[in-house]
Amino acid sequence: MLLSLEIWSDWFDLRYAIAYATPEPEGDLPRPPVLGPCAVSDRAGTDYVNWVTSAPAHGMVRVHQRTFAPAPPPGTEVLELRFGPPATVVPGEAPPLVVSTVLL
């Protein structure tokens, strides 16, 4: 679930949450990731780079934040987010698992 998209002068922050139906059993290892890297595109063909990613490793709702640069160019109306499978190392290496469009 997309929580927020904050656009700054030189970058933007994408925050999303993944909710699990049940808590992790006591003493078990943390759940493996369900989404891999995220690639962002726009109609202008801007080359977005994911500089920073943070994510907690516990709880039923896990909030992730990814910072991309540069900021979308003026006049950008739509961003497309493509999340790869969890085992993917490089965005675009495998077909996207989830594709979402964000209207700005």
- For residue 41, give the nearest of 8, 74, 72 by alpha carbon: 72
Asked whether the predicted pLDDT for residue 100 surpasses 90, the reply is yes
Q: What is the pLDDT of residue 3?
A: 92
What is the pTM (predicted TM-score) of this model? 0.84
**Three-state helix/strand/coil letters over 45-85:** CCCCEEEEEECCCCCCEEEEEEEEECCCCCCCCEEEEEECC
Determine which of 44-48, 52-56, 87-91, 93-97 has the lowest per-residue pLDDT on average.
Answer: 87-91
Q: What is the pLDDT of residue 15?
A: 94
Residue-wise pLDDT for 4-58, tens only, equals 999 999 999 999 998 888 887 776 667 778 888 899 999 999 999 998 888 776 7
CB 67 within 8 A of CB 12: yes
Per-residue confidence at 89, pLDDT binned at 50, 70, 90?
A: low
